[in-house]
Amino acid sequence: MQTISTDVLVIGGGATGLGCVRDLAMRGMRAVLVEKGDLTNGTTGRYHGLLHSGGRYVTKDPQSATECAHENAILRRVMPHCLEDTSGFFVITPWDDPSYGDIFATNCRKTEVPVQEISVAEMLRREPALNPQISRVFEVPDGSADSFLAAHTNALSARTYGAQILTYHRVVELIRTGDHVVAAVVEDLRTSERTYVECGFILNAAGAWAGQIAALAGVKVTVVPGKGTMVAMSHRMVNTVINRCKLPADGDIIVPVHTVAVIGTTDIHVPDPDVYGIEPHEVRLMLEEGEKLVPGFSQYRALRAWAGVRPLYKDQDVANDRDISRTYKLLDHQQRDGVDGIISMVGGKWTTYRLMAKDAVDTIAQRLGNTRPCRTADEPMPVPDFEHRGGNHAGAGAEKLYWLGKPLAAVEEEHAYGDLICECELVSRDRVHAAIASGASNLDDIRRDVRMGMGPCQGGWCIYRTTALLYEQRAQAAENASADRPAFDIEHANAAMLHFLQERWKGLTPVLWGDQLRQARLDELIYVHVLGAHRLSAHAEQGGGLVTDER
């Protein structure tokens, strides 16, 4: 078994884990991160994309509100290319308590969330699609975030400082010597090879799976998986984040992200963060609630529905999951359970990931005798290679916030009209090549990197093109590498395409009506009746859960 020796092993490739491994590396500690899937494979890649101002929490969770307000300003400085400055409105509709407006504004000021009341006329001038019966409007500095790009931005920075990041590596065992965790055994899910990771400390940042990791060390962490269902609409009917001005509830927020608007979310307890479905009544509720904010909302084209699992930490009895605090908890298992060499970070929000990482790394640094200060709030992060567009040079720090027209401006600047692989999201051939070169192992990895297949056709026109590029580039790389490296052949390419189709299908089934049903039927005609994709070699079924009938 191969052995790796490091100061700290970070478990979890979401926002928190990546923030931790970057902070560790910047302080000069040897750090390795392992993730059982691709980066953002868990909750980080499955949320609605909100950069929180803190407004949602000013009444029920004031600590989270203040944390979000402070971190919002920091993230705008250090990763502007991952964020869009949409601003945010909290609006009182005819279905909301009019008296809550004054309570909301007062609590915003108490928690340091910037707020100002604007007129309904000004709101309608800026967002004419909103309900004209809205009675009051409060503006806060909400924004939208590209969590996929932010993850790779953190990973690039961490690697620059010497960190090692291993994706598709699952922790199968934590090794204890007495009451001290000293190592872990991880398995490469692509090759089944196992690696012994000897470490001075383990940082459990596995989110909704943190309880499972903690159990491997013989300690108990109670994480309540809270499923949140969201629906992406094909049109940005608003360019501002719109919140209902009331206590948080289901279907009370619309977030404009890239080319779509996302409405969410539900909050339903699920016993297993890997096993959950999306129910028709959840989608129906989202559309009905959307009508209260934007009349005619349900008539827009719904692209897909998906769900993420919140890693809520339950340290006290509450009436329901929405009463569980959204702030984070750092669990020092030496003090809490008498087991040294491991800490767990649970709870929190995407917006507060950097602060969570700082607190966790501060604790580890003190234990390991490292006195270097945290610099993650001050040092801008680099831009990944596959995001080299619109004047950004790969590896250089970004200076400007993302804006909706940026992808089109890049295509025009680079004269890449004839090189588009995904017309919906304006993804060029060069960006797909860069994503593959950066380590994307399959089509879903490429999707997360460059948004290929996330537009209205849900990959109908770009999957086969991207599959060809993946095959060509991976096969050539295997040919140029050592003879013992597994080849990437046609069977692998077929499996990758079928797996991607099946994953897209999961999010389409809850919204198959109207234009999206017609689109799905067209995709079926292309891939089943023309290309015969369902009849590809049986070896392709190793890609996992693939369609083999003619649905």
Residue 229's region, left for phi above 0, alpha for psi from -120 to 50, else beta, is beta
Give the Cα separation of 509 and 410 in Å (integer). 34
| pTM summary value | 0.91
Domain boundaries, the chain: 2-43+148-221+326-368, 51-145+224-314, 405-543
Handedness of CA 522, 523, 525, 531 (dihedral sign): positive
Amino acid at 109: R
Per-residue pLDDT of the chain (551 residues; tens, 9 = 90+): 899 999 999 999 999 999 999 999 999 999 999 999 999 999 999 999 999 999 999 999 999 999 999 999 999 999 999 999 999 999 999 999 999 999 999 999 999 999 999 999 999 999 999 999 999 999 999 999 999 999 999 999 999 999 999 999 999 999 999 999 999 999 999 899 999 999 999 999 999 999 999 999 999 999 988 899 999 999 999 999 999 999 999 999 999 999 999 999 998 989 899 999 999 999 999 999 999 999 999 999 999 999 999 888 866 544 455 455 658 999 999 999 999 999 999 999 999 999 999 999 999 999 999 999 999 999 999 999 777 554 444 444 456 899 999 999 989 998 888 899 999 999 999 999 999 998 888 999 999 999 999 999 999 999 999 999 999 998 887 777 654 555 678 888 999 999 999 899 999 999 999 999 999 999 999 999 999 988 886 444 444 333 433 33
8 A C-beta contact, residue 156 and residue 382:
yes
Question: For residue 193, what are its two tokens?
Answer: 């090879």
The fold of the 2-43+148-221+326-368 domain, in CATH, is FAD/NAD(P)-binding domain (3.50.50)
* Helix, strand, coil % in the chain, rounded to nearest 5: 40, 25, 35
Tokens 């994480």 belong to residue: 223
How many CA within 13 A on the CB side of residue 476?
9
pLDDT computed for residue 326 by the predictor: 58
pLDDT computed for residue 387 by the predictor: 78
The fold of the 51-145+224-314 domain, in CATH, is D-Amino Acid Oxidase; Chain A, domain 2 (3.30.9)
8 A C-beta contact, residue 110 and residue 54:
no
pLDDT computed for residue 321 by the predictor: 52
Tokens 């680079």 belong to residue: 414
Question: For residue 282, what are its two tokens?
Answer: 């959840």
Residue 306's region, left for phi above 0, alpha for psi from -120 to 50, else beta, is beta
Do the two domains 2-43+148-221+326-368 and 51-145+224-314 of this chain adopt the same fold? Answer: no
Q: What is the 3-state secondary structure (H, E, C) of 326-340?
A: CCEEEEEHHHHHCCE
Question: For residue 478, what are its two tokens?
Answer: 């295997």
- Of 536, 199, 213, the C-alpha closest to 345 is 213
